[in-house]
Amino acid sequence: MDLREFKRLTGEIMVTAYAGIAVFADVVLLIFKMLYYVVESIFWLIFPVEEKNVSGEVVLITGAGHGIGRELALQYATLGAKVVCWDLNENGNKETAEEIKKINETASVYTYRCDVTNREEVIRVAAEVQRDVGDVTILVNNAGIMPCHTLMDHTPEEIRKTFDVNVIAHFWMLQTFLPSMIKKNHGHVVALSSMAGIAGLPNLVPYCGSKFAVRGIMEAIHLELRDAMLPKQLNIKFTCIYPYMVDTGLCKKPKMRFPTLFSLVPPKTAAAEIVKAQRRNVQEASIPSVFFHINNIFRNFPDKVPLLVRDFLDSGVEAD
Ligand SMILES: NC(=O)c1ccc[n+]([C@@H]2O[C@H](COP(=O)([O-])OP(=O)(O)OC[C@H]3O[C@@H](n4cnc5c(N)ncnc54)[C@H](O)[C@@H]3O)[C@@H](O)[C@H]2O)c1
Ligand SMILES: *[C@@H]1O[C@H](CO)[C@@H](O)[C@H](O)[C@H]1NC(C)=O
Ligand SMILES: *[C@@H]1O[C@H](CO)[C@@H](O)[C@H](O)[C@H]1NC(C)=O
- Among the atoms of ligand 3, which is closest to the Cα of residue 79? 9
248 CA from centroid of ligand 1 (Å):
9
Rounded CA-CA distance 127/210 in Å is 28
- Neighbour tally for 277: CB within 10 Å: 21
Residues lining ligand 2, CB < 6 A?
53, 55-56
User: Alpha carbon of 259 to those of 196, 248, 315: distances in Å?
Assistant: 18, 17, 9
Ligand 2 atom nearest the C-alpha of 53 is 1
Residue nearest to atom 32 of ligand 1 (CA): 115
- Residue closest via CA to ligand 2's atom 11 equals 53
Q: 58-317 maps to which CATH number? A: 3.40.50.720
Indicate if ligand 3 lies below 6 Å from the C-beta of 108.
Answer: yes
Which helix (H) or strand (E) element contains residue 276?
A: helix 267-279
For ligand 1, what atom is nearest to the CA of residue 115? Answer: 32
Find all residues with CB under 8 Å of 234, minimum gap 6, and list them.
Answer: 185, 222, 225, 226
Per-residue confidence (pLDDT) for residue 300, from 0 to 100? 95
- The residue whose CA has the least distance to atom 7 of ligand 3 is 80
Q: What is the mean pLDDT of residues 148-170?
A: 98
pLDDT at residue 320 in the model: 87
Domain extents for the chain? 58-317
β-pairing, 187-192 vs 82-87, is: unpaired
Question: For residues 15 and 3, what is the distance between their CA atoms, to the nearest angstrom?
Answer: 18
- Percent of the chain with pLDDT strictly greater than 90: 84
Region 136-159: mean pLDDT is 98
The string of DSSP letters for 211-227 reads: HHHHHHHHHHHHHHHHH
Q: For residues 191 and 166, give the distance between their C-alpha atoms in angstroms, rounded to a whole number.
A: 10
d(CA 241, CA 142): 10
- Spatial contact of 106 and 83, defined as CB atoms under 8 Å apart: no
Protein residue with its CA nearest to atom 13 in ligand 3: 78
Given a contact cutoff of 8 angstroms between Cβ atoms, the answer to whether 222 and 241 are in contact is no
At 259, the pLDDT band (50, 70, 90 cuts) reads confident
Ligand 1 lined by 187 (C-beta under 6 Å): no
Sequence-ordered list of residues with C-beta below 8 angstroms from that of 196, at least 6 positions apart, any chain: 204, 207, 208, 211
In short, whether 78's Cβ falls inside 6 Å of ligand 3 is: yes
Number of the ligand closest to the Cα of 57: 2
Distance 53 CA to ligand 2 centre (A): 6
Q: From the CA of 293, how far away is ligand 2's center (Å)?
A: 34
Q: Helix, strand, coil proportions of the chain in percent (round to 5)?
A: 55, 15, 30
Counting from 1 in the atom list of ligand 1, the atom nearest the Cα of 166 is 41
Q: Provide the edge-to-edge strand list for the sheet that holds 109-113.
A: 109-113, 82-87, 58-62, 138-141, 187-192, 236-243, 284-287
Give the global pTM: 0.94
Q: Is the CB of 251 under 6 A from ligand 1?
A: yes
Ligand at shortest distance from the CA of 201 = 1
Atom index in ligand 3 nearest the CA of residue 108 equals 5
DSSP one-letter string for 75-94: HHHHTT-EEEEEES-HHHHH
DSSP 122-185: HHHHHHHHHHHT----EEEE-------S-GGGS-HHHHHHHHIIIIIHHHHHHHHHHHHHHHHT
Q: Is 211 exposed, middle or buried (0-12, 13-18, 19+ CB in 10 A)?
A: buried
Residue 113 burial by CB count (10 A; 0-12/13-18/19+): exposed, middle or buried? middle
Q: What is the pLDDT of residues 77-109, one digit of tens each?
A: 999 999 999 999 999 999 999 999 999 999 999
Q: Provide the annotated active-site residues.
A: 207
User: CA 22, CA 25: separation in Å to the nearest integer?
Assistant: 5
Task: Collect all residues with Cβ–Cβ distance below 8 Å to 20 and sequence separation of at least 6.
Answer: none
- Span 16-62, pLDDT tens digits: 889 899 999 999 999 999 999 999 999 988 988 899 999 999 999 99
Count the neighbouring beta carbons within 10 Å of the beta carbon of residue 33: 10
Asked if pLDDT for residue 1 goes beyond 70, the answer is: no
Query: H or E segment at 62?
Result: strand 58-62
**Cα angle: 130, vertex 174, 53; to 5 degrees:** 65
**Are the CB atoms for 167 and 210 separated by under 8 Å?**
yes
Q: How far is the CA of 272 from the centre of ligand 3 (A)?
A: 16
Give yes or no for residue 80 CB within 6 A of ligand 3.
Answer: yes
Query: CB of 306 closer than 6 A to ligand 3?
Result: no
* Tens-place pLDDT, residues 205-246: 999 999 999 999 999 999 999 999 999 999 999 999 999 999
- Ligand 1 centroid – CA 87 distance (Å): 10
